[in-house]
């Protein structure tokens, strides 16, 4: 019994220390861009066991370095209630659960804030342990960062192809232009990649990009 209590004590200490480090980093990310993320580190390690060369591309920019269309496209594609919820969209979670109970799984329930927390501090491996960490990290992120800063960070770190992270690197990779110069259509095309960035290409996501453009128009963008 004493051994169990000791193990539990050290687990709680480790959890508190981990959340403390994440809190300090989130405060720093109010002003500076991350040097790297845990998802980027995960992919780099995975690439060691792959035959294809790994070309790491990551060029974070300030919000002024992003096309005005890109944040709108990503919100329309990934999290239409981004400005309404407090980190977790329980309405979307409820709908996702209903679909699973009916034997369907068409929608994702993770908000942009949850996805940012995962990118910064966790991995892409989907399990209940990760989800357990994701909830407090999501609330910490919303508590410390503004909505606009959350969105900017997400656009700067999100994976958009193998080894390609963030809007600037993706804009150059796919379109030979800067993130600031992305057109409305190009922005929607990049947003269309987000559910599966390592298997999708803007050039074969035209139908979904059109859907995103329609959502943007409905949302006043």
H/E stretch holding 204 reads none
Closest CA to 77 of 218, 215, 197, 220: 215
Mean pLDDT score, 198-208:
95
Closest CA to 120 of 133, 104, 129, 132: 133
pLDDT in tens, 49-70: 999 999 999 999 999 999 999 9
Residue 3 pLDDT class (50, 70, 90 cuts):
confident
Any residues with CB less than 8 A from the CB of 161 and at least 6 apart, and which? 170, 173, 174, 193, 197, 198
In this model, does residue 194 exceed pLDDT 70? yes
- pLDDT score at 92: 72
- pLDDT score at 99: 63
pLDDT in tens, 70-122: 999 999 999 999 999 999 988 877 676 666 655 655 556 799 999 999 999 99
Higher pLDDT, 192 or 128: 192
Mean pLDDT score, 167-186:
98
Counting Cβ atoms within 10 Å, is residue 87 exposed (0-12), middle (13-18) or buried (19+)?
buried
**pTM summary value:** 0.92
Task: Let me know how long the chain is.
Answer: 221
Residue 44 pLDDT class (50, 70, 90 cuts):
very high
Closest CA to 145 of 30, 24, 28: 30
Residue 169 pLDDT class (50, 70, 90 cuts):
very high
Higher pLDDT, 129 or 187: 187
- Domains in the chain, CATH or no CATH each: 2-218 (1.10.3810.10)
Taking all residues of the chain, what is their mean pLDDT, rounded to a whole number? 93
- 88-95: long-range contacts (C-beta < 8 A, 24 or more apart)? 88/113, 88/114, 88/135, 88/138, 88/139
Helix, strand, coil content of the chain in percent (nearest 5): 60, 5, 35
């Amino acid at each position: 019994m004493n051994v169990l209590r000791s193990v539990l004590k050290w687990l709680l200490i480790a959890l508190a220390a981990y959340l403390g480090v994440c809190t300090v980093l989130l405060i720093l990310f109010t002003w500076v861009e991350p040097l790297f993320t845990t998802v980027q580190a995960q992919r780099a390690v995975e690439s060691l066991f792959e035959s294809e060369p790994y070309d790491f591309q990551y060029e974070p920019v300030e919000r002024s370095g992003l096309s005005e269309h890109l944040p709108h496209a990503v919100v329309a594609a990934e999290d239409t209630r981004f400005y309404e919820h407090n980190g977790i969209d329980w309405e979307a979670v409820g709908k996702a659960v209903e679909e699973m109970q009916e034997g369907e799984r068409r929608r994702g329930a993770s908000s942009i804030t949850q996805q940012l927390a995962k990118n910064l501090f966790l991995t892409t491996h989907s399990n209940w342990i990760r989800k357990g960490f994701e909830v407090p990290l999501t609330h910490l992120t919303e508590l410390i960062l503004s909505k606009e800063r959350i969105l900017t960070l997400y656009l700067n770190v999100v994976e958009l192809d193998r080894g390609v992270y963030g809007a600037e690197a993706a804009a150059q990779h796919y379109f030979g232009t800067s993130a600031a110069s992305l057109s409305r259509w190009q922005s929607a095309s990049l947003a269309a990649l987000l559910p599966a960035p390592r298997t999708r290409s803007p050039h074969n996501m035209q139908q979904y990009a059109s859907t995103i453009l329609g959502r943007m128009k409905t949302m006043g963008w």
